[in-house]
Amino acid sequence: MTINADKIDRQAKRILRNNDRGGYTVPTSGLYPYQWNWDSAFTAWGLATFDIKRAWFEIHTLFTGQWDNGMVPHIIFHKRADGYFPGPDVWGVPRVPHTSGITQPPVAATMIRAIYEQDKRYGRVHMELVYGRLISWHRWFMANRVEDGMVAITHPWESGRDNAVDWDGGMGNVDGSGVGDYTRRDTAHVDPDMRPKKEDYDRYLTMVYYGRDCGWDEGQIREGSPFRVADVGMTFILLRACRDLLMIAHDLDHLTDEIEGWIRTLEAGVARHWNPDGFYDSIDLRSGDFSGSLSSASFLNWYAGIENDQMAIHLHDILDRVEFGVPSFDPRREGFEPLRYWRGPVWGMMNALIAIGLEEQGHVQIAAKLRKDTQRLIAEHGFFEYFSPVEGTPAGGGAFSWTAAIWLTWAG
């Protein structure tokens, strides 16, 4: 198939424009009608390819949601929108703009650095404004979430990989039976077979109610929450983000000792994510058990600046079994579901992060393959939320912002 890149570029830009709600971009209309944290960071990177002013605006609106303690929430509910559950009333966070009570993977420093590098003259003042915001968010992570150098999540939604196999053990500790009645909205937009199951949702909500009952107090949640998992994806992403923040700090002439300390702590944490089966893995901090899940997040080690030969062997073996890049769960394992959300499908932005890391560490060919795979998926099927890594079948929401963004920045 010949790819008409200009035409697809125009489509990608149109998606980002259409998903603009006035200063912030929704992941896709209908299914996700608010500003999501890491989606917005990817989107800003995409916007920067054709409208740098709008890209910085996206970043500033994201930080309007930042809490006084530094946390940047996973959803910012700028204005009321229909069709999403759980909305602002369920989270019960007493601030404006309303937000959720949990965070999401901190890709922002990395995306912001890329935007800044593109036009430093224009970006300087924006970078100065945002720098302190990034520092306080990272400081919040280090103070509240880093345990033995690994980043703990208090809800699967924080990982951005909602129903990944990584959380099955930790979710087993959560009793969802008392959750009461509620109406899901996601399954009205997309095929329920491609979404998390009802038992998952019962537990997701139980944990939201738990956090709300704790007044979103980090100490109380750390003490009593049934779910606390060291997420290998979060650890790699935060480590990478700290490295980018360090480069920004040098550029802006800020002190760097604190960030250097964070990097050393997280590097030590990475080693603890290595499981006896020989791969990077998440750990249930309540039981101490590894999840045993080789997921796409396990392969973010290169993105975090960490070379590893055994991970390269796993990667080659997995890529030989599927057609389109790195699946969200190991296709050699029972339980691999090529169309169920984070239990098998391939996500364009994960391919991008993994490939960026691989290329930086000199694995140029394999990085190029991931890019080609992603390019084909988008060119042949459109800007879907995710795809089957086996057949390329598109799934989830369409006209998706981060898929458009990675086309413009990396895949196209």
Q: Is the CB of 32 or the CB of 77 nearer to ligand 9YW?
A: 32
Q: Is the CB of 159 or the CB of 308 nearer to ligand 9YW?
A: 159
Is 48 exposed, middle or buried, given 0-12, 13-18 or 19+ CB atoms closer than 10 A? buried
Active site residue 385: yes
The two three-digit tokens of residue 329, written as one number:
């769960």
* Beta bridge mates, 99: 76
Q: Is the CB of 149 or the CB of 156 nearer to ligand 9YW?
A: 156
Q: Map tokens 């009321």 to a residue.
A: 80
**Smallest distance, Å, CB 398 to ligand 9YW?**
12
How far is residue 8's CA from residue 183's CA, in Å, rounded to a whole number?
A: 37
- The answer to whether 162 contacts ligand 9YW (rule: CB under 6 A) is yes
- Return the residue of 27, 233, 327, 389 that touches ligand 9YW, per CB under 6 A: 27
How far is residue 320's CA from residue 388's CA, in Å, rounded to a whole number?
A: 15
- Return the residue of 12, 24, 29, 32 that touches ligand 9YW, per CB under 6 A: 32
Pairing of strands 75-77, 35-36: antiparallel
Which of these, 387, 365, 391, lies nearest to 374 by C-alpha position?
387
Size (the chain), residues: 412
Q: Are 19 and 383 in contact (CB under 8 A)?
A: no
- The answer to whether 36 contacts ligand 9YW (rule: CB under 6 A) is yes
Q: Are 32 and 26 in contact (CB under 8 A)?
A: yes
From the candidates 58, 158, 162, 244, give the one annotated as an active-site residue.
162
The two three-digit tokens of residue 107, written as one number:
């890709």
Q: Is the CB of 337 or the CB of 359 nearer to ligand 9YW?
A: 337
Q: Is the CB of 36 or the CB of 131 nearer to ligand 9YW?
A: 36
- The answer to whether 383 contacts ligand 9YW (rule: CB under 6 A) is no
Q: Which stretch binds ligand 9YW (CB under 6 A): 33-41, 126-134, 234-242, 311-319?
A: 33-41
Q: Which stretch binds ligand 9YW (CB under 6 A): 34-42, 142-150, 254-262, 360-368?
A: 34-42
Q: Are 367 and 378 in contact (CB under 8 A)?
A: no
Active site residue 391: no
Q: Which stretch binds ligand 9YW (CB under 6 A): 15-23, 30-38, 219-227, 317-325?
A: 30-38
- The answer to whether 160 contacts ligand 9YW (rule: CB under 6 A) is yes
- The answer to whether 167 contacts ligand 9YW (rule: CB under 6 A) is no
**Smallest distance, Å, CB 194 to ligand 9YW?**
11
Residues 109, 115, 117, 119, CA torsion sign: negative
Question: Could you count the other beta carbons within 10 Å of the beta carbon of residue 30?
Answer: 18
- The answer to whether 39 contacts ligand 9YW (rule: CB under 6 A) is yes
How many residues bind ligand 9YW (CB under 6 A)? The answer is: 8
How far is residue 177's CA from residue 396's CA, in Å, rounded to a whole number?
A: 28
Is 203 exposed, middle or buried, given 0-12, 13-18 or 19+ CB atoms closer than 10 A? buried
- The answer to whether 325 contacts ligand 9YW (rule: CB under 6 A) is no
Query: Catalytic amino acids?
Result: 162, 385
Residues that bind ligand 9YW (CB under 6 A): 27, 32, 36, 38-39, 160, 162, 186
